[in-house]
Amino acid sequence: MRRALVTGAAGQIGTELVQALRAELGADRVLATDLRRPEDDQPVVAGGPFGLLDCTDGEALDRHLREHRPDTIFHLAALLSAVGENQPQEAYRVNLGGLVTVLEAAREREIALFTPSSIAAFGPGTPPDLTPQETIQRPTTMYGVTKVAGELLCDYYHHRFGVDARGLRYPGIISHSAPPGGGTTDYAVEIFHAAVSEGRYTCFLEPDTQLDMMYMPDAVRAALELMQADPERLEHRNAFNVTAMQFTPQGLADRIRERIPHFSIDYEVDPTRQAIADSWPRRLDDSAARREWGWSPEYDEDAMVDDMLDHLVPRPNGASAPESSSPATPGG
Q: Which residues bind ligand NAD (CB under 6 A)?
A: 7-8, 10-14, 34-36, 53-56, 76-78, 80, 94, 98, 116, 118, 170, 172-173, 180-181, 183, 185
Q: In the complex, what is the shortest distance from the CB of residue 179 to ligand NAD, in angstroms, rounded to a whole number?
A: 7
Q: What is the spatial distance between Cα 87 and Cα 100, in angstroms, rounded to a whole number?
A: 20
- By a kind-dependent CB cut-off of 5 to 8 A, residue 281 interacts, out of ligand NAD, ligand SER, none, with none
Smaller CB distance to ligand NAD: residue 7 or 137?
7
118: contact with ligand SER by CB under 6 A:
yes
CB of 318 to ligand NAD, least distance (A): 28
Q: CA torsion, points 100, 104, 110, 114, in degrees to nearest 10?
A: -10
Integer-rounded Cα radius of gyration of the chain: 19
Nearer to ligand SER, 32 or 82 (CB): 82
Residues in the chain: 332
Q: How far apart are CA 159 and CA 149, in angstroms?
A: 15
Cβ atoms within 10 Å, residue 134 = 9
The listed partner (ligand SER, ligand NAD, none) that binds 96, CB under 5 to 8 Å by sort, is none
Helix axis angle, 301-312 relative to 187-197, nearest 10°?
A: 50
From the list 143, 157, 187, 215, the catalytic residue is 143
Of 241, 245, 215, the residue nearest 293 (C-alpha):
241
The one of ligand SER, ligand NAD, none whose footprint includes residue 247, by CB under 5 to 8 A per kind, is: none
Residue of minimal CB distance from ligand SER? 183
| Binding residue (CB under 6 A) for ligand SER from 8, 11, 48, 183 | 183
Minimum CB–partner distance for residue 36 and ligand NAD (Å): 5
Signed CA dihedral, 192, 198, 204, 205: sign only: positive
Closest distance of CB 315 from ligand NAD, Å: 27
Query: Which region among 18-26, 50-58, 117-125, 308-316 touches ligand SER (by CB under 6 A)?
Result: 117-125
- The H or E element containing residue 74 is strand 72-75
The interface with ligand SER within residues 154-173 (CB under 6 A) comprises 172
* Binding to ligand SER, residues 122-151 (CB under 6 A): none
CB of 138 to ligand NAD, least distance (A): 18
Query: For residue 236, which of 162, 120, 296, 152 has the smallest C-alpha distance?
Result: 152
Per-residue CA distances from 246 to 59, 144, 161, 321 (Å) = 42, 20, 37, 26
Pick from ligand NAD, ligand SER, none: which does 99 bind, CB < 5 to 8 A by kind?
Answer: none
What spatial distance separates the first Cα and last Cα of the chain, rounded to whole Å? 28
Least Å from the CB of residue 183 to ligand SER:
2
Are 226 and 219 spatial neighbours (Cβ–Cβ below 8 Å)? no
How many Å apart are CA 314 and CA 293, to the nearest integer? 38
Binding-site partner at residue 94 among ligand NAD, ligand SER, none, CB < 5 to 8 Å by type: ligand NAD
Contacts with ligand SER by CB under 6 A: the residue count is 9
Among 93, 123, 73, 121, smallest CA distance to 239 is for: 121
Establish whether 143 is a catalytic residue: yes
The correct pick among 120, 168, 174, 288 for binding ligand SER (CB under 6 A) is: 120
Residue ranges that bind ligand SER, judged by CB under 6 A? 80-81, 118-120, 172, 183-185
Catalytic residues: 143
